[in-house]
């Protein structure tokens, strides 16, 4: 492919604003580019590569590190369109993509074979499951995915397994020696089979860069290191980049500390905050001109983030004309909040706004449940970005399976679901147990028939637990029954099975809240089933792209004309875990900031003042309380 050096022909002054132009032309040595939301950071990276190529730097001497391979492909496409030259030898892609290429080039230096295979997450969990299966008392261990998450955090944060568990998952503190042993065996089996997982790519790459001869050679090969989304890097990635720049210091890190929101994945805001210390001669550039949002929305965003102590202070400026003030909406219950949002969206759609121009954002997954019910009632088309709808989630279906059996004793799918989450009941035993339903009309008859099969002790215990719980559930008090079910059976399963069990528990708390709105169990189950039916019904329509529902984390990098941020209540956002941790509280505020900066023209921020399932009086979030009143309008829907 054509990778020729291009002639100097690009009119940079006409394509870039003064802030962008300065970076493109002057970013030599270590440079930190603090790029505010909607300020054109991708444009800067693309034109910086073009500028370097114009001045004779071969693409093979440039490394462009992005957080998705899609972003890298799009940037390369733009470079080719601008220059007329395909940068064929440019190293561009994610950390894992670039690291994989280098490890296959220099495998001997880190004692691996060049034909190594990369394990995906499913393969990694399967191998860990195999290791756990070889241990005694394996029922005491958490789900393999949770163990893999601990090992991954240890690798990416450069912390020991002990440190990770004590600070992030202290519930596993008694298992630290066992998980350390699993880690050693996991590494041994990978080595034996010439396997690397995603974390190994970064670890081996770092080891490669620390090799005096090869590390210097690689650093010398890539004279310019450009990094996108630097605020989302973890500790090991930062260490790799430091080694890459060690011979020349030409690293340009582009990011926004105000959008650092992925600490739960191991990312750390310290990388961007400490950049000037890591690179003492670093220059700092600012991109403050925002092309996305109106001045009114940016005034709100600037006011929100100004409350944080750990940050590079900057005020975004809009190039757009004046718009309307943001609106903060007070509601009473969460169902009132859902009613306001769905009715407002219906009004917007009827006035000609396209569904694809509307985004609904929330801090935690459970906060969309009431809204989904209301939107389905009004037949507003929507999709859930990056995940299942509320009533489609496995843990919600698990809980509802108990109640389905209460209404319909012969619901085989519900029985099968309960058997599948019960220890000691495999497919064969499940088939036998399902067969016994034909001869039973109630729980007592069924228990007698099952007893005659003489199941194993583990299976027998699980069956007794299920039957005991079913007998204790009360149709007239669904919420209390869900609480009892959680205490007696399901909480233990959640904690062992899911690494995000805290969020799933919150979903079930919301299910309790929703159940209080229904006079009968049959109505409650019918409503939950209709939510799934509505998805199938809407998926048949291609007439219009639906409204997007998304967690704020999933929405990062996206934008809509009109944004609704729901559930900004004191008990929900900031998340309760951050109340006693100032750093966590600041990250919660950054999450709110990210939500607000997704909006182009209009934004509604809603909260409710009472939780149905809790006696405590709620209130608006402290994040709203800290915003000057003149920045927004306040509506009362309570």
User: Residue 139 gets which letter from DSSP?
Assistant: G
Question: Which residue among the candidates 299, 363, 598, 610 is catalytic per the annotation?
Answer: 598
pLDDT tens for each residue of 573-598: 998 888 889 999 999 999 999 999 99
Give the pLDDT score at 465. Answer: 83
The answer to whether residue 532 scores a pLDDT higher than 60 is no
| % pLDDT > 90, the chain | 54
The answer to whether residue 6 scores a pLDDT higher than 60 is no
pTM: 0.83
Question: Which residue among the candidates 20, 233, 252, 259 is catalytic per the annotation?
Answer: 259
Instruction: Give whole-number Cα distances, 433 to 312, 458, 488, in Å.
Output: 62, 14, 22
Question: Which residue among the candidates 19, 200, 229, 586 is catalytic per the annotation?
Answer: 229
Residues 93-113 have a mean pLDDT of 91
Can you state the angle between helices 144-157 and 121-133, rounded to 10 degrees? 120
- H helices of 16-120, in order, are 18-26, 41-54, 69-83, 95-105
Give the pLDDT score at 140. Answer: 65
Per-residue confidence band for 3, with pLDDT thresholds at 50, 70 and 90:
very low
The answer to whether residue 555 scores a pLDDT higher than 50 is yes
Annotation says 22 is catalytic: no
The answer to whether residue 538 scores a pLDDT higher than 50 is no
Instruction: Give whole-number Cα distances, 114 to 134, 197, 383, in Å.
Output: 30, 14, 43
Annotation says 229 is catalytic: yes
Give the pLDDT score at 601. Answer: 97
Q: Which token pair is 298?
A: 């940016």
The answer to whether residue 43 scores a pLDDT higher than 80 is yes
- Residue 311's φ and ψ, nearest 5 degrees, are -170, 165
Give the pLDDT score at 614. Answer: 53
Residue keyed to tokens 């998926």: 539
- Element housing 328 (H / E): strand 327-331
pLDDT tens for each residue of 184-196: 999 998 888 888 8
Annotation says 228 is catalytic: yes
The answer to whether residue 153 scores a pLDDT higher than 50 is yes
Give the pLDDT score at 1. Answer: 41
The answer to whether residue 543 scores a pLDDT higher than 50 is no
The answer to whether residue 333 scores a pLDDT higher than 70 is yes
Per-residue confidence band for 384, with pLDDT thresholds at 50, 70 and 90:
confident
Residues 227-247 have a mean pLDDT of 96
Of 254, 237, 338, 197, which Cα lies nearest the Cα of 39? Answer: 254
Give the pLDDT score at 386. Answer: 67
Q: Name the 3-class secondary structure at 528.
A: helix
pLDDT tens for each residue of 390-425: 777 888 888 888 888 887 777 777 888 888 888 878
Q: Are 147 and 169 in contact (CB under 8 A)?
A: no
Other Cβ atoms less than 10 A from the Cβ of 471: the count is 11
Give the pLDDT score at 549. Answer: 95
Answer with the residue of higher pLDDT: 570 or 602.
Answer: 602
Give the pLDDT score at 537. Answer: 40
Question: Which residue among the candidates 20, 41, 94, 344 is catalytic per the annotation?
Answer: 41
pLDDT tens for each residue of 286-317: 999 999 999 999 999 999 999 999 999 999 99
DSSP-assigned states of every residue in 224-275: EEEESSGGG-BHHHHHHHHHHTTTT--EEEEE-GGG---GGGTB-THHHHTH
- The residues near 184 (Cβ < 8 Å, ≥ 6 apart) are none
Distance, in Å, from the CA atom of 586 to the CA atom of 576, rounded to the nearest integer, reads 13
Residues 350-371 have a mean pLDDT of 92
Per-residue confidence band for 387, with pLDDT thresholds at 50, 70 and 90:
low
The answer to whether residue 539 scores a pLDDT higher than 80 is no
Question: Which residue among the candidates 22, 42, 68, 221 is catalytic per the annotation?
Answer: 42
The answer to whether residue 542 scores a pLDDT higher than 70 is no
The answer to whether residue 439 scores a pLDDT higher than 80 is no
Distance, in Å, from the CA atom of 179 to the CA atom of 142, rounded to the nearest integer, reads 10
| % pLDDT > 70, the chain | 92
pLDDT tens for each residue of 120-150: 888 888 889 888 877 755 556 788 888 999 9
Answer with the residue of higher pLDDT: 294 or 519.
Answer: 294
- Residue 262's φ and ψ, nearest 5 degrees, are -120, 40
Give the pLDDT score at 578. Answer: 87
Annotation says 217 is catalytic: no
Burial 125-138 (b: 16+ CB within 10 A, else e): bebbbebbeeeeee
Q: Which token pair is 220?
A: 């010398």
Annotation says 598 is catalytic: yes
Give the pLDDT score at 388. Answer: 66
Give the pLDDT score at 284. Answer: 97
Per-residue confidence band for 2, with pLDDT thresholds at 50, 70 and 90:
very low
List the single range of 28-37, 242-251, 488-497 with lowest mean pLDDT.
Answer: 488-497
pLDDT tens for each residue of 157-181: 999 999 999 998 888 898 899 999 9
Question: Which residue among the candidates 228, 257, 357, 586 is catalytic per the annotation?
Answer: 228
- The residues near 388 (Cβ < 8 Å, ≥ 6 apart) are none
Give the pLDDT score at 635. Answer: 95
The mean pLDDT value of the chain amounts to 87
Q: Which token pair is 611?
A: 């939780």
Answer with the residue of higher pLDDT: 73 or 600.
Answer: 600
């Amino acid at each position: 492919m054509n990778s020729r050096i291009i002639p100097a022909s690009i009119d940079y002054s006409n394509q870039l604003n003064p802030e962008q132009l300065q970076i493109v032309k002057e970013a030599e040595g270590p440079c930190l580019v603090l790029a505010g939301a909607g300020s054109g950071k991708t444009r800067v990276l693309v034109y910086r590569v073009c500028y370097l190529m114009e001045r004779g730097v071969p693409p093979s001497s440039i490394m462009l590190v992005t957080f998705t391979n899609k972003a890298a492909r799009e940037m390369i496409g733009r470079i080719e369109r601008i220059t007329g030259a395909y940068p064929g030898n440019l190293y561009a892609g994610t950390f894992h993509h670039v690291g994989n290429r280098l490890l296959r080039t220099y495998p001997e230096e880190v004692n691996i074979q060049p034909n190594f295979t990369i394990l995906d997450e499913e393969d990694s969990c399967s191998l860990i499951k195999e290791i756990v299966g070889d241990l005694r008392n394996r029922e005491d261990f958490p789900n393999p995915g949770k163990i893999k998450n601990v090992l991954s955090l240890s690798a990416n944060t450069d912390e020991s397994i002990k440190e990770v568990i004590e600070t992030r998952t202290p519930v596993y503190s008694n298992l630290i020696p066992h998980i350390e042993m699993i880690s050693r065996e996991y590494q041994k089996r990978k080595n034996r089979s010439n396997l690397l997982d995603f974390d190994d790519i970064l670890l081996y790459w770092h080891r490669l860069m620390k090799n005096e001869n090869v590390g210097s050679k690689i650093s010398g090969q890539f004279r310019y290191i450009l990094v996108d989304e630097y605020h989302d890097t973890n500790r090991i990635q930062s260490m790799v980049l430091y080694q890459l720049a060690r011979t020349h210091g030409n690293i340009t890190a582009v990011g926004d500390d105000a959008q650092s929101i992925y600490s739960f994945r191991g990312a750390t805001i310290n990388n961007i905050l400490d950049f000037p210390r890591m690179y003492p001669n670093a220059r700092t550039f600012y991109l403050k001109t925002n092309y996305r949002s109106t001045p009114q929305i940016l005034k709100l965003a600037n006011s929100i983030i100004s409350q944080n102590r750990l940050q590079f202070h900057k005020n975004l400026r809009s190039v757009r004309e004046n718009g309307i003030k943001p609106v903060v909406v007070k509601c009473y219950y969460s169902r009132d909040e859902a009613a306001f949002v769905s009715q407002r969206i219906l009004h917007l759609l009827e006035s000609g706004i396209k569904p694809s121009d509307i985004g609904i954002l929330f801090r935690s997954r459970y906060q969309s449940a009431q809204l989904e019910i209301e939107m389905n009632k009004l037949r507003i088309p929507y999709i859930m970005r990056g995940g299942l709808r509320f009533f489609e989630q496995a843990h919600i279906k698990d809980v509802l399976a108990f109640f389905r059996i209460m209404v319909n004793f012969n619901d085989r799918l519900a029985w099968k679901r309960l058997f599948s989450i019960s220890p000691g009941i495999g497919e064969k035993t499940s088939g036998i147990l399902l067969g016994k339903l034909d001869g039973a009309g109630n729980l007592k008859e069924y228990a007698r028939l099952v007893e005659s099969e003489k199941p194993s002790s583990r299976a027998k215990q699980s069956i007794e637990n299920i039957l005991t719980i079913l007998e204790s559930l009360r149709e007239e008090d669904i919420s209390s029954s869900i609480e009892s079910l959680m205490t007696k059976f399901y909480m233990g399963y959640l904690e062992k099975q899911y690494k995000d069990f805290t969020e799933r528990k919150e979903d079930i708390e919301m299910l309790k809240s929703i159940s209080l709105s229904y006079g009968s169990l049959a109505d409650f189950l019918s409503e939950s089933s209709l939510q799934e039916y509505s998805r199938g019904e809407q998926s048949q329509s291609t007439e219009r792209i639906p409204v997007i529902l998304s967690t704020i984390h999933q929405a990062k990098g996206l934008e809509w004309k009109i944004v609704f941020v729901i559930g900004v209540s004191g008990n929900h956002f900031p998340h309760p875990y951050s109340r006693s941790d100032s750093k966590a509280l600041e990250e919660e505020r950054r999450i709110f900031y990210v939500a607000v900066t997704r909006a182009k023209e209009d934004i509604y921020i809603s909260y409710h003042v009472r939780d149905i399932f809790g006696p405590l009086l709620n209130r608006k979030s402290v994040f709203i309380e800290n915003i000057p009143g003149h920045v927004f309008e306040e509506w009362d829907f309570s």
